[in-house]
Amino acid sequence: MNIAIDCERLASTFVQLCEIDSPSRREKGVSDFLRQSFGDLGATRIVEDTSAPRTGSDCGNLIVSIPGNKAGREPIFFACHMDTVEPGCGVKVLRDGDIFTSHGDTVLGSDDKSGIAALIELIRILREDKTEHGPIELVFTTCEEIGLLGAKALDCTLLTAQFGYALDSTGIDRIIIGAPAANKLKIEVHGIAAHAGLHPEQGISALCLTAKAIADLRMGRLDEDSTSNLGLIYGGVATNIIPDSVTIEGEVRSHSLQKLAAHTAEIERTFQQVIECWPLPPSLAHAALGHPCPSPRLPDKGNENEAPAPAPSVTITVQLEYPAMHLNLTDPVLARVKQAEMILGRTLEFQVAGGGSDANILNSFGLPTAIIATGMNKVHTTDECLDLRDLTRLTELLYAIVVA
């Protein structure tokens, strides 16, 4: 198949996009660029949804409709996110042959502007070569990098396509067909403050409670489907005060919802057990009765009207960050990719990934969405890079999917 991609035009679009600042919640510059670009390319409808107040972004998600020119072909959608991670402002793109990088002080922004640039080139060549295709809808989300906020607030009624593709993964010629669900955890450990030099025996260090619980926990890869991580910790006031409050934030991911629940419960139980078995300061220990642990801590809950005794405790908040996604190779969304693979005479890898992205959310809306790798590499670092040859390969694949 001869696909008339203009590589230099594609490169120039990509560089232009990367050099527009678009940290999460400030995507309007990119949104305006896309309105202009797709307006010039014959989009019949360009609408922004009303998600901005919920995401806190300076614009909503943008939905662009490109009409088909062949009757009876089903519509499909492509999705990209407009935001980039920090440091991502003031990007100056360096080009060495076919390789794009930043100057080293920012990310490049190929996550996810590689996908956006490929879509602009795709619509341009479809318009130029007048190939027959069905309706195409383009979804550009905000705030992907800070919790998939744009996708979560997307107004799906603006879409007519029943399935589509999110262009947002590293490498090339890879299709992501499964991704885990994730729980986000916030664990607030409460101890008892005391002067560290004068009355250390009166305190319980929330930091020590936390350290013991973490030491008792399994972390990292938990089984073939699941991982966990505690990534943030903060608390304490001063070196001479026994800290009465430490907060940890972390996550559990799993391709199995059952395992997700079990691993999350294990973390909760571990913290609770450490708290329950922690020796109380002598001033409180006399009140502790009938406790199952060798070093009893608290009296029973007692009269609810009484003020609660100061004692160690833990408050754990669990939030489903995103649901799992799982596609079958026979689903129409993947059947079309298999056809494209044949058209191009190319071998694609169909893989299960460990990350969460807008596609998890779109799938949960009942819109089967496969993730297509865009050629982006070393994302979320200042070493991020993209090879123009990969960007061209991506554009060829999108074209083949559209005409398949």
Could you tell me the smallest distance in angstroms from the CB atom of residue 112 to Zn ion?
4
Residue 121 designated active-site: no
* Local structure of 11: helix, strand or coil: helix
Q: Is 341 in the site for Zn ion (CB under 5 A)?
A: no
Q: Is 27 in the site for Zn ion (CB under 5 A)?
A: no
Element (H, E) at 252: strand 245-254
The stretch near Zn ion (CB under 5 A) out of 85-93, 106-114, 254-262, 381-389 is 106-114
From the list 111, 112, 144, 225, the catalytic residue is: 144
Q: Is 111 in the site for Zn ion (CB under 5 A)?
A: yes
Q: Is 83 in the site for Zn ion (CB under 5 A)?
A: no
From the list 83, 137, 358, 384, the catalytic residue is: 83
Task: Determine whether 149 is exposed, middle or buried from the number of CB atoms within 10 Å of its CB (0-12, 13-18, 19+).
Answer: buried
- Cβ–Cβ < 8 Å for 64, 33: no
Could you tell me the smallest distance in angstroms from the CB atom of residue 239 to Zn ion?
41
Where in 148-187 is the site for Zn ion (CB under 5 A)? Answer: 168
Q: Which is nearer to Zn ion, 141 or 205 (CB)?
A: 141
Cβ neighbors of 312 (< 8 A, separation 6 or more) are: 189, 190, 191, 192, 204, 206, 209, 275, 278, 297
Q: Which is nearer to Zn ion, 48 or 112 (CB)?
A: 112
Residue 83 designated active-site: yes
Could you tell me the smallest distance in angstroms from the CB atom of residue 145 to Zn ion?
7
- Joined together, the tokens standing for residue 166 give 């999110």
Q: Which is nearer to Zn ion, 141 or 228 (CB)?
A: 141
Could you tell me the smallest distance in angstroms from the CB atom of residue 210 to Zn ion?
32
Q: Which is nearer to Zn ion, 192 or 398 (CB)?
A: 398
How many residues line the site for Zn ion (CB under 5 A)? 3
Residue positions counted in the chain:
404
Could you tell me the smallest distance in angstroms from the CB atom of residue 298 to Zn ion?
47
Residue labelled with tokens 């080293």: 104
Q: Which is nearer to Zn ion, 48 or 145 (CB)?
A: 145
Cβ neighbors of 137 (< 8 A, separation 6 or more) are: 63, 64, 65, 66, 75, 76, 77, 78, 159, 160, 161, 164
Q: Is 112 in the site for Zn ion (CB under 5 A)?
A: yes
Cα separation of 88 and 30, whole Å?
13
Amino acid code (one letter) for 331: D
Tell me the catalytic residues.
Answer: 83, 144
Interacting residue ranges for Zn ion, rule: CB under 5 A: 111-112, 168
